[in-house]
Amino acid sequence: MVEDEEPLRDCVSQILVLSGHTVYQATGCTVLTTLEECPTAIEMLIADVLMPGMNGVEVAVAVLNKHPGIPIILISGYGEKVMDRFPDAPKAIFVAKPFSLSELVRIVTTIITLRSIKRSPDRFTLMLSLRQQQLSTLKSTDCTLSPELTASYVLDELDEQESNLYEAHYFSCPVCAKRIKEFSEALDAVRLFFPPRWIH
């Protein structure tokens, strides 16, 4: 989280930590040092566009050089028009200030979930788990299928046979039905912040 306004940086960082994320904080003047001192790979960058020292676009380029392909969220109180100053900026999600902290957390969590799905076990393992379910004995308050399988269905990553099997399951499983609703709503919220110009 790279932001020169300390109260906002602290506030965003704290709510992300409470949501289960590890957050490293920096300003435009300290980001290179912080980047070098991070003990683990960075999975996402959130940076203010206009800051003393390095601006957000310069920060994004520096971070991408060390951690290629990570998602970038750029924030600014000057509106998306500020990005016209940076025609060579890397692709990023733009979020205007002021923003809802809950929506920002939702965006961050959904993006990280999407990235984890791409690194999930192969579909054979997922389908084996699905086939082993005994639908007739499935409790309405319990389901052993992984949330990743629900996400793969919502993202149209299952083939036709897999989708049909999963549909037969979730129509009788309130747990998966709820997961589908929640994941779909999260994706819809993210898409609101993903203008075509600023999305990979």
pLDDT grade for 175, boundaries at 50, 70 and 90: confident
pLDDT grade for 117, boundaries at 50, 70 and 90: low
* Number of neighbouring beta carbons within 10 Å of residue 126: 21
For the segment 54-66, the average pLDDT, to the nearest whole number, is 94
* Number of neighbouring beta carbons within 10 Å of residue 116: 12
DSSP, res 4: S
Residues 6 or more apart in contact with residue 130 via CB below 8 angstroms: 145, 149, 162, 165, 166, 169
Looking at domain 6-112, which CATH architecture does it have? 3-Layer(aba) Sandwich (3.40)
pTM value surpassing 0.75: no
CA distances from 121 to 117, 129, 151, 158 (A): 8, 11, 13, 13
Q: From 158, 170, 169, select the one nearest 126 (Cα to Cα).
A: 158
Q: How far is it, in rounded angstroms, from Cα 181 to Cα 177?
A: 6
Q: From 177, 163, 169, 162, select the one nearest 134 (Cα to Cα).
A: 169
Domain with CATH 3.40.50.2300 in the chain: 6-112
DSSP, res 173: -
What are the strands of the beta sheet with 45-48, ordered from one edge? 45-48, 72-76, 93-96
User: Which pLDDT belongs to residue 118?
Assistant: 58
